[in-house]
Amino acid sequence: MNKKAIAAAVSAAALAATLAGCSGGADAASAGSNTTNCTNKIVHSDAPKVSVWAWYPNMAKVVDNFNNSHSDVQVCWTVAGQGGPEYAKFQTAIQAGKGAPDVIMLEADQLTGFELQNALVDLSKYGAADVKKNFSAGSWKDVSQGDSVYAIPVDGGPMAMIYRKDILDKYGIKPPTTWAEYETAAQKVKDAGGPAFGDLGSNVPAALTALMAQKGAVPFTYDLADQKNISIHLDSQPAKDVLNYWAGLVKKGLVATQDQFTTDYISGMIGGKYATYISAAWAPGYLTGSGVGKGNEKGTFAAAPSPNGMQATQSP
């Protein structure tokens, strides 16, 4: 990303076809993992089935729309876990040589590891270039290596700051526009006995990587054609600035370290345990799915651009 100041960074998700799933042999109608235990309804039971692992709540509507409009093939959708748990199951299936789905949802930062294991199908051989024009250059780059394409983007989330209006109003704080303002506001809330100002979950590495990109860091570089040369740049000054900044917030007790996208975290956010939520555009879906925006929660939350302008830092 551009090293100049930018308002938001992006993390993404994609759907990839798996070699372990697509190598089912003669019985193409039941290739991949089990297609009898589907979360969704199979409309045409005599049609070949494609197994899909994905965790987005809206996937139910996508799959139902597809199955209702196609009689030649049906999708058997399963939630095999969200993020890490799904990846662990996929890794087990790769090692066993069986049990993987035909199609799997992966975050963009996970693609490289599975590409290295030759676990994903090169979709360039199957017309992927025909849909390239439907996506931004950045999202297509996330799923490509040279002329090869290993997934199709399905979601890209600009980073933003969701915040509780009631908490910021209570402590006389305007939504911070810089990271310096964010820390100052967090300290003010803590000094007044308020809740954690934010959260740095260990299960959201894509968000931290996106914040590094916002600062101009390029933490990882990789070329599938040169598999023995993977570059890691976490010691660059921009990367260290981001890591030191958040480590400092944690050390001072200004932000929590609760894993995100969990029941505990979402209930904590709704209950006022955190003042802000730095995340991607899909985060509101987890809140509205838990009743935010309705009844007593209506008008409690608002959104603002992610803070910017992080200064050079020293180790906390």
C-alpha to C-alpha distance for 18 and 121, rounded to whole angstroms = 6
C-alpha to C-alpha distance for 219 and 149, rounded to whole angstroms = 22
Residue 34, pLDDT score? 62
Q: Can you list the domains of the chain with their CATH numbers?
A: 10-156 (3.40.190.10), 159-305 (3.40.190.10)
CA dihedral over 279, 281, 282, 283, signed as positive or negative: positive
C-alpha to C-alpha distance for 224 and 213, rounded to whole angstroms = 21
Q: For the chain, how long is the longest CA-to-CA vector?
A: 67
Residues 108-119: tens digit of each pLDDT: 888 888 998 999
Please name the residues in contact with 280: beta carbons below 8 A apart, sequence gap of 6 or more.
10, 11, 157, 158, 159, 160, 207, 210
Residues 38-85: tens digit of each pLDDT: 989 999 999 999 999 998 777 889 999 999 999 999 999 999 998 889
The ranges of the chain with pLDDT < 70 are: 1-12, 20-34, 311-316
Residue 20, pLDDT score? 60
Please name the residues in contact with 295: beta carbons below 8 A apart, sequence gap of 6 or more.
none
Residue 286, pLDDT score? 80
Buried b (16+ CB within 10 A) or exposed e, 251-261: eeebbbebebb
